[in-house]
Amino acid sequence: MNPRFNRRRFLATAASSGAGLLLLGSGHSARGYQANEKLNIAVIGAGGRGGSNLREVASENIVALCDVDERRAGSSFKRYPDAKKYADYRELLDEMETQIDAVVVSTPNHVHAPASVTAMRMGKHAYCEKPLSHSIYEARTAAQVAGEKKLATQMGTQIHATENYRRIVELIRAGAIGEVSECHCFLRGGGSAADRPTDTPPIPPGLDWETWLGPAPYRPYHPCYVPHDWHYWWDFGGGAFGNMGCHYLDLAFWALDLRHPTTIQAEGPPAHAESTPAWEHCRYEFSARGDRPPVTLTWSHRKPPAIFAENKFPPWAWGVFVGTKGMLLASYPKRMLWPEEKFADYEPPEPSIPRSVGHHQEWITACKTGSPTTCNFDYSGAVTETVLLGNIAYRTGQKLEWDGADMKFTNCPEANGYLQREYRPGWTC
């Protein structure tokens, strides 16, 4: 390990001390915050999606910005001339440990957990884009550290804060379609990659390629990775499923109180050692939860699952809950009980889930007051793990039996090799 980044581990204090006052953990001392006082935030990954997150937390003090690509982050850098600028988040955290309260992480997937966990070990609150991690070990570690440090965390599944998602959850819980035994999610698009390129074009000016790679194995720069298509390479992303799965599966986890699947199986084109598939079907089985029956959850992208192929659902629907009394169709902005004529006279329950103050604002408020967030790393870590489990089942070609409590596959030793990977020297989680 690079000694420059061998940080001391500090215990964070997150105890409430009077109304509206929270003692925030920092490397050297805790500082009291009134609810109307501003946080000092560092944004790790300031271009692209990071620019959007930056605008959502602009009510606070933006004291540091970090991005490996000066051109992509240029507009964000210009917007905050007084914020300190970095290419390497490790240097940012080392130098500004006592000056920041929280981090927003919007890097590619393979750096999500290393950056978030490193900051949390210093006692910093963390907001991280979806998926929470690149591996199941990382997701479990992020949730564990957040819990131990009693930090405010939120994964960037912004749709969770919408009113439509709330009404869908209320319909399921009210028994509108009876006992739910199936949920199917279908992403109509999705991309893929192919073989690793053999040409080695020059690295563009302003891009710190070595730092962009982070903990991933070294490979030469190529524009097929940056700025977007890293999603389709196993070393950096999880394909279309890794990119969108948390948004879709989140609704099922919330409405059906899911946690760990017991079995996972997947199919797609022949697995490629380096690149993700153009299409994929994943099927999960979840055990009964209290008086709720077992549930089958499926994910598909590019090729429609059978239930979509067999029914003339409206084109906006990407989610289908199947119950003993009918179905519920879902998308980000819409919902529909199906078949329509059967539910024409149905009276929905009165709204019971409180309106969100905003996905980012939930987290900001939690950092200051200790209030809960709806997509904290414990909840969102389980959603992320489930997406990752589907990709492991696809890559191994096996129906996997999963022991979520002990974090291991019980019937396929090969699959356990995908739970964690070795980092390059100098990088930790």
**In terms of Cα–Cα distance, which of 295, 332, 328, 49 is closest to 187?**
332
Q: What is the mean pLDDT of residues 58-83?
A: 97
Before 131, cis peptide (omega within 30)?
yes
Q: What are the start-end ranges of the H helices in 311-355?
A: none
Residue 309 token pair: 């192929």
> Considering all CA atoms of the chain, what is the largest pairwise distance in Å, rounded to the nearest integer?
68
Query: How do strand 327-330 and strand 319-323 relate by DSSP bridges?
Result: antiparallel
How much is the average pLDDT of 255-273? 98
Asked if 43 and 62 touch (Cβ cutoff 8 Å), the reply is yes
Tell whether the model's pLDDT for residue 36 goes beyond 80.
no
Please calculate the CA angle 128-130-131 and round it to the nearest 5 degrees. Answer: 110
Residue 58: CB partners within 8 Å, gap ≥ 6?
A: none
The Cα angle at residue 331 between residues 382 and 278, in degrees rounded to 5: 70
pLDDT surpasses 70 at 85: yes
Does 11 have pLDDT greater than 70?
Answer: no
Torsion of CA 206, 208, 213, 217, to 10 degrees: 130
Could you give all domains of the chain from N- to C-terminal order, each with its CATH number?
A: 3-160+367-374 (3.40.50.720), 161-193+233-352+383-416 (3.30.360.10)
Of 33, 42, 28, the closest CA to residue 15 belongs to: 33
How many other CB atoms sit within 10 Å of the CB of residue 344?
A: 8
* The pTM of the whole model exceeds 0.85: yes
Cβ atoms of 22 and 16 closer than 8 Å: yes
Q: Which residues contact 257 (CB under 8 A, 6 or more apart)?
A: 289, 292
β-pairing verdict for 61-66 and 40-44: parallel
For 326-419, where are the alpha helices, taking DSSP H only? Answer: 359-369, 377-396, 413-416
Q: What is the pLDDT of residues 316-330, one digit of tens each?
A: 999 999 999 999 999
pLDDT of 158 higher than 80: yes
Residues 277-300 have pLDDT tens digits of 999 999 999 999 999 999 999 999
Residue 305 pLDDT > 80: yes
Average pLDDT of the chain? 92
